[in-house]
Amino acid sequence: MIGVAPPSYDPAAPTTASTLPVGTSATVRGYVTELLRRHRRAFLLLVTVNTVAVVASMAGPYLLGGLVERVSDDARELRLGVTVSLFVGALVLQALFIRQVRLRGAVLGERMLADLREDFLVRAVGLPPGVLERAGTGDLLSRITTDIDRLGNAMREAVPQLAIGAVWVVLLLGGLVVTAPPLAPAVLLAVPLLVIGCRWYFRRAPAAYRSEAAGYAAVAAALAETVDAGRTVEAHRLGDRRIGLSERRIKEWTAWERYTLWLRSVLFPVINVTHVTVLASVLMIGGVFVLQGWIGVGQLTTAALIAQMLVDPVGLILRWYDELQVAQVSLARLVGVREIEPETGDAELTPAGRDVRADRVHFGYIEGVDVLRKVSLDVAPGTRLALVGPSGAGKSTLGRLLAGIYAPRDGRITLGDAELSRMPAERVRSHVALVNQEHHVFVGSVRDNLRLARGGATDAELWAALGAVDADGWARALDEGLDTEVGSGGFGLTPAQAQQIALARLVLADPHTLVLDEATSLLDPRAARHLERSLARVLDGRTVIAIAHRLHTAHDADVIAVVEDGRISELGSHDELVAAGGAYAALWRSWHG
Amino acid sequence: MQIQDLPYPHPGVPDARSGPRFLWWLFRNQLGGQLKALAWGLLHFASVSALPFCVGIAVQAVVDRSGARLALAGALLAVCCAGNALGDTFLHRAAITNWITAAARVQQLLARKAALLGSALTRRVAAGEVVAVSTGDVEKIGWFVEAVSRFTAAALTIVLVCVGLLVYQPALGVVVIIGLPVLALAVLPLLPRATRRADVQREKAGRATELASDTVAGLRVLRGIGGEQLFLDRYRRASQEVRHAAVRSARMWSLISAIQVLLPGLLLIAVVWHGVHLARDGRIGVGELVTVYSSVMILTYPLRHFEEIAMAYSFSRPSAKRAARVLSLERATDTGGSRAAGTLPSGDLHDPDTGLLATAGRLTAVVCGDPDAAGRLAERLGGHPSEKGTPVTLGGVPLDELPLDCARTAVLVQDKDPVLLSGTLRELLDVPASGAVEPSEALAAARCEDVLAALAQGSVGAEDPMDARITERGRSLSGGQRQRLALARSLVADPEVLVLDEPTSAVDSHTEARIAEGVRGLRDGRTTVVFTSSPLLLDRAERVVFLHEGRAAAVGTHRELVRADPRYRAVVTRETDEEADARTAGADGAGWDAAGSDVAGVETVGVETVGAGRGRALNIDRRHGGPESDRREDGRRESDRREDGRLTDDRLADDDVLHQLEEIEETA
């Protein structure tokens, strides 16, 4: 076998457009420097204990060298007792400090890792809502799971171990220079081979390991999907195709395993030959020196034993170096989030009144393609407005604009004459809240899930909020009431119950203006209508903008805006619109029989 | 088995009676690879262990002032070097190959098992177990199976070296032989505690990751309503807990490291003490002393394998047990069927339990007040349900008596929560099908135009939306978009009987109405059953069956039933209780919304309770879409017209539907 080319299919290649930035090398460097500065004491401590441990470890070869010298010289006084005592002392010292090295390494690594993941989450939760809506949470999610995981290894092991290995090598070489100065250059004979071999390897390894890991994850993912979709797989008779897919994933993964195995098949002999070369050159050159009488046999012994000890730190460095390279990519993805400017907004801007007004608003997600065109709308305080229209007409987009999540490309959206998009997100949401179809239940108790909307809410308030969304029935039936653990891993709430939780949060947050984007779509239609009515009682006097796919929501509203093709085509009360006989009227009749 | 030949054409039938049996089965099936690893391992460890002898010879040669012997030592070193490099590299290759082939075999077995179990896996416990085995256990199983031969090689080497030492220098060899077992076994008692702590750490780390991803997944909710600080604090606590657990675990491992330094060191000192005395008395040479010293130093390397095999076994035993349990899962019911898999039955679909009858070639809608009961009934309509009952018949043939695959071919049941499998859109729609329905037709009928646009936008380098990728479970799409793609997939399959359970519950009314037309057009002449309570779908069904308390209580068209059956009306018009009360209170004008009844220009037909309640509940619009001349004005008018045409004229002929479908395809 001459070699293995890297497989053509790369499972680590991105398939969806990543919209969040990846850190530039300057950002990464800046962050690493900051991290090291924060932990410089722990770092110095690690280097110190490591130095003591390594120096103590060299006592053995040194003392043995002395003994060998004296035995071979037939010296009268061996000083065996003293030597052995020193030896034991050094050994105990070494053992104690090796323990500290491991421990301090872990302490340092864990601290940096904890900082890193907490920093990341702090940044992530500060992202402007608009960025989140645009980018989705998938990319962030993969950063906080996969990338943190990869960095875990690097921080926990690679950084401390590399520091240890580097100190170790330097000290061993130093020991060699001190005990047998003429032999030090002999070690260098093996260096060119090592450098060439490692350069070849490290140029290819990090990317290959990334692909290999992605390939293995794809094997597990394919199976997890088959399991998750068990019903669908059986109904569509996809079993054989799923097996075929799993086997294809196995083939792709093992192709990368084979490639990385080839990379190591080159690296391993290089390292092995290097080790023996170091030992052999010290022994042979040193032997000649002894024969010439330039150094003593004791010095040779010490040098040979130290050369043998070099195996460990060199192995350590090589073992963890590529981990560090992999980590660099992950780090860049994590700190990339720092490059997004937090939208601070204009803190001075406060709305005067509750009038929501859209004035000739244009908006599009992509340059040159407007989803909304020249939309003007005036929502008086306390109005219930329903937005209806076909999918893709721009209802949800308009809802998000009215909730201040996006800024219009042209025109203004104001709340009490203050422009929403210029206000800080925290201020906007104290006035306007958006509940969309995303019905996320957080891991934690029911209480935690509600309290995020109002930190100090009492249990009575929480129950009242649940009652307002018709949820108190099932909530009271829960074994541990508000303390019941829900979310992934806890009690599984149905999508409908999750939606009720989301609405109960809204009741607690109690903003004066609400945007509900299909907020009851997952409830069974009758329950949905009942909920909307009881909610309406609680929200009496609030401005409610509801994006509806069920017409009864529209029917119950004060004003209906029909959104079609990025414009408001009809506007008026239910009765007016039915009387006008336009698109809404047609739909209503069809829907209502 | 070489890595490049994977996957196995047949992964074999595993011995899954117990964990250890399963491990043994895996081992037995790669005996060749294990022997190869053993042989290379012996070469590797032997070469490493021979290094001290070379060092000893070299030192002794120098002491004896012999250049020739020094050269001999150099030559021996070169041989060791070659043996070591070859042995190490090929041991690694053999070991990794064993690992990969074992892991691939288990993954293949799991994939086969999962495909076989199908819907039986949706029971959550079983599903979680399969995934856990695939993600975590396979690695551990592979590790242990692979480590066996490496351990054997290391153990054999240690024995060989001890024997060698005894022969070479009996006096010192004895000291080493007494000391070695202590070294090998000393840390073993600490390992269980260390691994337990490592497990605690892993568990806490998993919890922290879960909290973090949970926070990020719900970030839009948090940013919209507040509570970020609450969640940050919670995560910080979890993250610090991980840190503490990790340091606690590191304490244990660092203790083990210290012992691993201390004990060999003490043995070294004993060897030196004893050896120097012997050398002093002239009973051994200096070189021999150095040899024994560096042997002890180097023997710690194969000795580590004792710890490794102990850990590998303790990790892999529960993993193997779980894998064996998963691989021995079977379906509760017999899937073979008592009838031969001949021609597929066709005809009316009949459920004796509820009395539901779906006429062949017609679109039947089923209204059922209880969504869970509807789900169970839908499942039974496909045959081979998880709960036994009177079997549903198709053309008089009980579906349970057909082999599972035949029953699924004849009747396709799309449940409430169909899963979109990740891959390109083309792959999604590439399901076993009759071939009569093109993907483009199905997509048009399910009104997926905006889904296609959204998909194309989110994909890298996909010009054709059919090449756009759908992420796992279609998470990047909205609920309504997912439903429409799933519907398109079922339409492509074009089965004899198609059962749809709430196929458009998350789709907006505008689109739902169009989908109803699309489905009716595409399924013309085929048997279709739709579970729904949406008037937009019901109105377009040829027959509506109303189930009440588990029995078919009324059959007719939507209009007939609305008129005739108040229970039906209550379910489909989504009246709230107060509205129903208002209606029963009579037509005395007490209702709070009387405006609806006086809609101009609407001819009301057969309205039961005109006036106070929901007077406009039942009317038929005679208005038609815009004039023909408007048809081709421009895109916008076109879509308006289409909407009017489709939504208002509820007597739209099928020809018209087809015609409009073509138009949509053209404009798309």
- Which of A118-122, A136-140, A399-403, B15-19 bottoms out in mean pLDDT, i.e. has the lowest? A136-140
Predicted pLDDT of residue A591: 67
Which pLDDT band, with edges at 50, 70 and 90, does A16 fall under?
low
Average confidence (pLDDT) over A315-337: 80
Q: How far apart are CA B214 and CA B237, in angstroms?
A: 15
Q: For a pLDDT cut of 90, what percent of chain B falls above it? A: 31
In whole numbers, what is the pLDDT of chain A averaged over residues? 84
Predicted pLDDT of residue A147: 80
Average confidence (pLDDT) over A218-235: 88
Give the chain A residue whose CA is nearest to the CA of B470: A16
Predicted pLDDT of residue B667: 44
Q: For a pLDDT cut of 90, what percent of chain A falls above it? A: 18
CA distances from A381 to A415, A514, B117 (A): 10, 11, 57
pLDDT one-digit tens code per residue, B619-642:
333 333 333 333 333 433 333 333
Residue B603 CB burial class (10 angstroms; 0-12, 13-18, ≥19): exposed
Q: Are A250 and B7 in contact (CB under 8 A)?
A: yes
Domain A21-180+328-342 matching CATH 1.20.1730.10: the answer reads no
- Which of A432-441, A448-457, B122-131 bottoms out in mean pLDDT, i.e. has the lowest? B122-131
> Angle at the Cα of B455 (from B451 to B457), degrees rounded to 5?
120
pLDDT one-digit tens code per residue, B559-577:
899 888 888 888 877 655 5
Closest CB from B62, B93, B595 relative to A291: B62
Q: Do B7 and A247 touch (CB under 8 A)?
A: yes
Q: How far apart are CA B258 and CA B261, in angstroms?
A: 5
The DSSP bridge partners found for residue A515 are A434, A545
pTM exceeds 0.95: no
Testing the interface with B: which of A201, A238, A249, A268 to mutate, by most B Cβ within 10 A? Answer: A268
Closest CB from B422, B506, B574 relative to A225: B422
Predicted pLDDT of residue B619: 32
Predicted pLDDT of residue A186: 84
CA distances from A210 to A154, A320, A327, B397 (A): 14, 15, 10, 54
Instruction: Name the nearest CA neighbour of A280 among B197, B360, B81.
Output: B81
The letter for the amino acid at A157 is E
Predicted pLDDT of residue B91: 93
The letter for the amino acid at B605 is V
Q: Do A227 and B127 touch (CB under 8 A)?
A: yes
Phi, psi of A294 (to 5 degrees): -80, -35
Q: Do A230 and B114 touch (CB under 8 A)?
A: yes
Q: For a pLDDT cut of 70, what percent of chain B falls above it? A: 84
CA distances from B579 to A520, A554, B573, B591, B618 (A): 20, 16, 11, 8, 15
Predicted pLDDT of residue B575: 57
Testing the interface with A: which of B509, B517, B567 to mutate, by most A Cβ within 10 A? Answer: B509
**pLDDT for A469 beyond 70:** yes
Predicted pLDDT of residue A525: 66
**pLDDT for B518 beyond 90:** yes
Testing the interface with A: which of B138, B225, B467, B646 to mutate, by most A Cβ within 10 A? Answer: B225
Q: Do A232 and B623 touch (CB under 8 A)?
A: no
Which pLDDT band, with edges at 50, 70 and 90, does B110 fall under?
very high
CA distances from A56 to A81, A91, A95, A180, A322 (A): 18, 7, 9, 18, 29
**pLDDT for A35 beyond 60:** yes
Closest CB from B219, B266, B599 relative to A132: B219
Predicted pLDDT of residue B51: 85
Q: Are B455 and B470 in contact (CB under 8 A)?
A: yes
Contacting residues of B for A235, CB less than 8 Å apart: 119, 382, 408, 412-415, 418
**pLDDT for B448 beyond 50:** yes
pLDDT one-digit tens code per residue, B178-220:
888 888 888 888 888 888 888 888 888 888 888 888 888 788 7
List b or e across A474-505, with b for residues whose CB sees 16 or more CB atoms inside 10 angstroms. Answer: ebeeeeeebebebbeeeeebebbbbbbbbbbb
Q: Do A305 and B644 touch (CB under 8 A)?
A: no
pLDDT one-digit tens code per residue, A229-267:
888 999 999 999 999 999 999 999 999 999 999 999 999
Contacting residues of B for A110, CB less than 8 Å apart: 242-243, 246-247, 250
Q: Do A308 and B110 touch (CB under 8 A)?
A: no
Backbone torsion region of residue A478, taken as left when φ is above 0, otherwise alpha when ψ lies between -120 and 50, otherwise beta: beta
pLDDT one-digit tens code per residue, B472-503:
777 667 778 889 999 999 999 999 999 999 89
**pLDDT for B644 beyond 70:** no
**pLDDT for B554 beyond 80:** yes
Question: Do strands B397-398 and B411-414 pair parallel, antiparallel, or not at all (unpaired)?
Answer: unpaired
Which pLDDT band, with edges at 50, 70 and 90, does B103 fall under?
very high
* DSSP symbol at B598: G
Q: How far apart are CA A449 and CA B486, in angstroms?
A: 32
Closest CB from B93, B216, B508 relative to A549: B508
- Comparing B596 with A218, which gets the higher pLDDT? A218
Q: How far apart are CA B88 and CA A271, in angstroms?
A: 10
Which pLDDT band, with edges at 50, 70 and 90, does B8 fall under?
very high
Distance from CA of B450 to the nearest CA of A (A): 6
Instruction: Name the nearest CA neighbour of A253 among A58, A459, A88, A11.
Output: A11
In whole numbers, what is the pLDDT of chain B averaged over residues? 80
- Comparing A85 with A425, which gets the higher pLDDT? A85
Q: Are A393 and A563 in contact (CB under 8 A)?
A: yes
Structure tokens at B448: 């997926």
Residues in chain A, overall count: 593
Q: How far apart are CA A333 and CA A315, in angstroms?
A: 29
Testing the interface with B: which of A462, A493, A590, A591 to mutate, by most B Cβ within 10 A? Answer: A590
Q: DSSP of A413-427, one letter per residue?
A: EEETTEEGGGS-HHH
Q: Where are the domains of chain A?
A: 21-180+328-342, 182-294, 356-592
Question: Do strands B349-351 and B393-394 pair parallel, antiparallel, or not at all (unpaired)?
Answer: antiparallel
CATH number belonging to the domain at A356-592, selected among 3.40.50.620, 3.30.450.40, 3.40.50.300, 3.50.40.10: 3.40.50.300
Closest CB from B404, B413, B508 relative to A391: B508
Predicted pLDDT of residue B661: 41
Q: How far apart are CA B274 and CA B619, in angstroms?
A: 110
Instruction: Name the nearest CA neighbour of A282 among A172, A438, A360.
Output: A172
Q: Do B432 and A453 touch (CB under 8 A)?
A: no
pLDDT one-digit tens code per residue, A531-570:
777 788 888 888 999 888 777 778 888 999 998 888 899 9
Predicted pLDDT of residue B489: 95
Residue B147, chain A, CB below 8 Å: the answer is no
Structure tokens at B80: 């060791």
Q: How far apart are CA A534 and CA B351, in angstroms?
A: 39
Q: Do B235 and A118 touch (CB under 8 A)?
A: yes
Q: How far apart are CA A330 and CA A337, in angstroms?
A: 12
ipTM: 0.83
Q: Do B286 and A102 touch (CB under 8 A)?
A: no
Structure tokens at B419: 């899963």
> Taking CB atoms and an 8 Å cut-off, how many pairs form between chains A and B?
538
Contacting residues of B for A575, CB less than 8 Å apart: 595-596, 599
Testing the interface with A: which of B117, B368, B470, B574 to mutate, by most A Cβ within 10 A? Answer: B574
**pLDDT for B600 beyond 60:** no
Average confidence (pLDDT) over B355-360: 92
Structure tokens at B544: 């509506």
Q: Are B517 and B539 in contact (CB under 8 A)?
A: no
